[in-house]
Chains A and B, each alone.
Chain A
Amino acid sequence: MNTHRTSLSTRLLAVVAMAFMLFPLLTVIPVSFTSKRYLSMPEGNWSLRHYEALLSNPDWFASISQSLTIALATSVIATLLAASFSLGIWYLRSRLATALIGLVLLPMAIPPVISALVLYFMETNLGKHAPGIGYDTLTGVVIAHVVMVVPYGVVTMLVALSQIDRRIELASRNLGASLMQTTFLVILPNLKLGIASTALLSFALSWEEVAVTLFITSVNVDTLPKRIWSGLRDNVDPSVAAISVLLISITLAVLIGRLVLQYLADKRAHKRLHS
């Protein structure tokens, strides 16, 4: 239950910010219905041709499912690694911690173009020893994505941990709980939101990643961003806008469903309060 409330002026400002966030829909939705073969406003000539093209081309869906697989795997692995590392740091509290954090954040501070080369060399080497997990494989892409997104996960986890009251750890340990018991029974339940944020963030970063992916894949892996960016050479296909609209519709359906349920629940609670 929220006890602190936002003021009207805050909410008005937030509405402006939210309008900004949704502003691109004003172009992306109409563009997906253009009758032209390039990104443009339909200007009266609305057409479903790009949705038809999308549905009749299995390649788009192959790419979507590849990207989903990669993003899910990346998200799970990166979240596990980031959570475990951050907890380790939290328990450790020593000079070593700063050095280790520096090392772990390194991939974030290097321009992705350079990371792309670094990971490309790493993966071709990996492929020499273990074909099937290096260059141009799904596993290879997941490894590279984990490396690229895990620093962001670590920052998010460290932020979440910084606000955990250390006294709960002390209390738990003084009551004789082991480190693992303390972690799983006391600390992690307090970190749910941090873990969820890390997972979402990792998913989103992997889903959009293209700079490194372009470099460590060739003909076997064709992620959605890779397919989309290929259009930049000549002409970005409005089907790409249609994909966005489809994905947004699915998300909206889920979120609005929750919203309606929430609204109804609120009303009921409200009634009960006043009856």
Chain B
Amino acid sequence: MTLTATLTKPQPRTAKGSPRLERGLLLFPLPVLLLVFYVLPFLGVVGWSFSLPEPGIEQYQRIASDPAIHEMLWRTMRLCLTVSGLALLIGYLLAYCWVFSPPFWQRVVEICIFIPFWISVLVRAFGWLIALRSNGVLNEGLLGLGLIDHPLQLSRNEIGVVIGMLHVMIPYAVFPLLSSMRQLDQRVLMASRGLGAGALRTFWQVLLPQTLPGLLGAFIMVFVFCLGFFITPVLLGGGQTVMIAEYVFLQMFQTSNWGLGAALSVVLLALVSALIWVLMRITRVNRLVG
């Protein structure tokens, strides 16, 4: 019986003489804590979306009909999906090297993942602005090598946003992928290669399916992190790539339209939940839920 089959097969109930109390003690502290400290206060916000400035569903009607909001949501989804996709790709590569390379290489990858954590996101954003501007390191380098004949506009637009966000997100994508790869049975990979499967085939048929939970976990984390991300896009986007996090900030603090800000976060919550649900369906990784 393969590992995957074991995992997806419905399990017989093991709880003989069910130690319910012990299980409850493991399970409930976190939900109770979050219920008190977050979920209940959050219901107040949901309330605003139906009551500010006047009782009714006018804020939701506006979200449904305002083309400016649709454009903002579309921009958000487009950029966040691009960044998450790239972060997953690069994160997968790095996690793979971290796990399957000789120890020396492993340490080098480790350094590259940990170093950026110590540079404040704000400093990184300004660092990118300095590096990416038309007379910055990157453009000068490319010009010097003769690869381009005039400086590229790499920041203060969506390209800059993607570069800046990607750099922040990659380490976060690596973590779940790492634990996923570490735990997989390396003998299976050996067996696949031993039976004559090429590297690519081994990847598609063995490695990828087995690390799917890690990929899904990494995607969920990176994608929702991107959705809430704020300053890097503001600085690197030249102020013109307004995404949902900034838009909600605007509603809450600049224009004091709390009803719209609240309604938007409810809509976002619904979108994210739907997306995760669909992903779990198509990848059939309800294994994440056990």
Say if the two chains contact directly (CB < 8 Å): yes
Kindly identify which residue among B27, B39, B227, B253 contacts A88, using a CB–CB cutoff of 8 Å.
Answer: B27
- Assuming the A-B contacts A85-B26, A252-B115, are A118 and B131 also in contact, with contact meaning beta carbons closer than 8 angstroms in the complex? no
Kindly identify which residue among B14, B131, B248 contacts A24, using a CB–CB cutoff of 8 Å.
Answer: B131
**B137 interface contact, C-beta 8 A:** yes
Bound form: Cα–Cα A147–B28 in Å: 15
Q: Hey, which chain B residues are within 8 Å of A236, CB to CB?
A: 122-123, 126
Q: Hey, which chain B residues are within 8 Å of A225, CB to CB?
A: 120, 122
Q: Quick one: which of B24, B114, B137, B172 has the most chain A CB within 10 A?
A: B114
Q: Quick one: which of A18, A81, A154, A240 has the most chain B CB within 10 A?
A: A18
Q: Quick one: which of B130, B252, B272 has the most chain A CB within 10 A?
A: B130
Could you tell me if A162 and B288 are in contact, using CB atoms closer than 8 angstroms?
yes
Bound form: Cα–Cα A112–B245 in Å: 8
Bound form: Cα–Cα A158–B179 in Å: 11
Bound form: Cα–Cα A193–B183 in Å: 9
**A107 interface contact, C-beta 8 A:** yes
Kindly identify which residue among B35, B124, B126 contacts A103, using a CB–CB cutoff of 8 Å.
Answer: B35
- Assuming the A-B contacts A162-B7, A167-B6, are A114 and B127 also in contact, with contact meaning beta carbons closer than 8 angstroms in the complex? no
Q: Hey, which chain B residues are within 8 Å of A219, CB to CB?
A: none
Identify 15 residue pairs between A and B in the complex whose beta-carbon atoms are under 8 Å apart, listed by A's number. A6-B101, A26-B131, A85-B29, A90-B290, A103-B35, A107-B34, A111-B265, A114-B248, A119-B38, A147-B37, A155-B217, A165-B6, A208-B121, A251-B115, A251-B118
Could you tell me if A82 and B96 are in contact, using CB atoms closer than 8 angstroms?
no
- Assuming the A-B contacts A4-B100, A24-B116, A111-B265, are A156 and B122 also in contact, with contact meaning beta carbons closer than 8 angstroms in the complex? no
Instruction: For A259, give the chain B residue with the smallest CB separation.
Output: B107
Could you tell me if A150 and B103 are in contact, using CB atoms closer than 8 angstroms?
no
**B186 interface contact, C-beta 8 A:** yes
**B44 interface contact, C-beta 8 A:** yes
Please give the distance in Å from B12's CB to the nearest CB on chain A. 8
Per-position 1/0 for B156-181, Cβ under 8 A of A: 00000000000100111001101110
Interface on B for A, CB 8 Å cutoff?
3, 6-7, 11, 14-16, 19, 22-31, 33-35, 37-39, 41-42, 44-45, 90, 93-94, 96-97, 99-105, 107-124, 126-128, 130-131, 137, 167, 170-172, 175-176, 178-180, 182-184, 186-187, 189-190, 193, 199, 210, 213-214, 216-218, 220-221, 224-225, 227-228, 230-231, 244-245, 248-249, 252-253, 261-262, 264-265, 268-269, 272-273, 285, 287-290
- Assuming the A-B contacts A162-B288, A208-B121, A225-B120, are A85 and B101 also in contact, with contact meaning beta carbons closer than 8 angstroms in the complex? no
Interface on A for B, CB 8 Å cutoff?
2-7, 10-11, 13-14, 17-18, 20-28, 31, 39-41, 81-82, 84-85, 87-93, 97-98, 100-104, 106-115, 117-119, 121-122, 125, 143, 146-147, 150, 152, 154-156, 158-167, 169-170, 173, 178-180, 183, 190, 193-194, 197, 200-201, 204, 207-208, 211, 224-225, 228-229, 231-232, 236, 240-241, 243-244, 247-248, 251-252, 255-256, 258-259, 262-263, 265-266
Could you tell me if B31 and A6 are in contact, using CB atoms closer than 8 angstroms?
no
Could you tell me if A3 and B186 are in contact, using CB atoms closer than 8 angstroms?
yes
- Assuming the A-B contacts A88-B28, A156-B179, are A114 and B6 also in contact, with contact meaning beta carbons closer than 8 angstroms in the complex? no
Could you tell me if A178 and B180 are in contact, using CB atoms closer than 8 angstroms?
no
Could you tell me if A2 and B102 are in contact, using CB atoms closer than 8 angstroms?
yes
Kindly identify which residue among A81, A163, A166 contacts B11, using a CB–CB cutoff of 8 Å.
Answer: A166
Kindly identify which residue among A2, A165, A231, A241 contacts B3, using a CB–CB cutoff of 8 Å.
Answer: A165
Bound form: Cα–Cα A115–B102 in Å: 43
Bound form: Cα–Cα A256–B110 in Å: 10
Bound form: Cα–Cα A219–B8 in Å: 53
Bound form: Cα–Cα A259–B146 in Å: 37
Q: Hey, which chain A residues are within 8 Å of B99, CB to CB?
A: 2
A-B pairs with the 8 shortest C-beta distances?
A: A88-B27, A88-B26, A159-B217, A247-B118, A85-B30, A27-B127, A18-B112, A162-B213
Bound form: Cα–Cα A262–B24 in Å: 43
Could you tell me if A156 and B100 are in contact, using CB atoms closer than 8 angstroms?
no
Kindly identify which residue among B6, B38, B167 contacts A166, using a CB–CB cutoff of 8 Å.
Answer: B6
Could you tell me if B130 and A40 are in contact, using CB atoms closer than 8 angstroms?
yes
Bound form: Cα–Cα A183–B41 in Å: 34
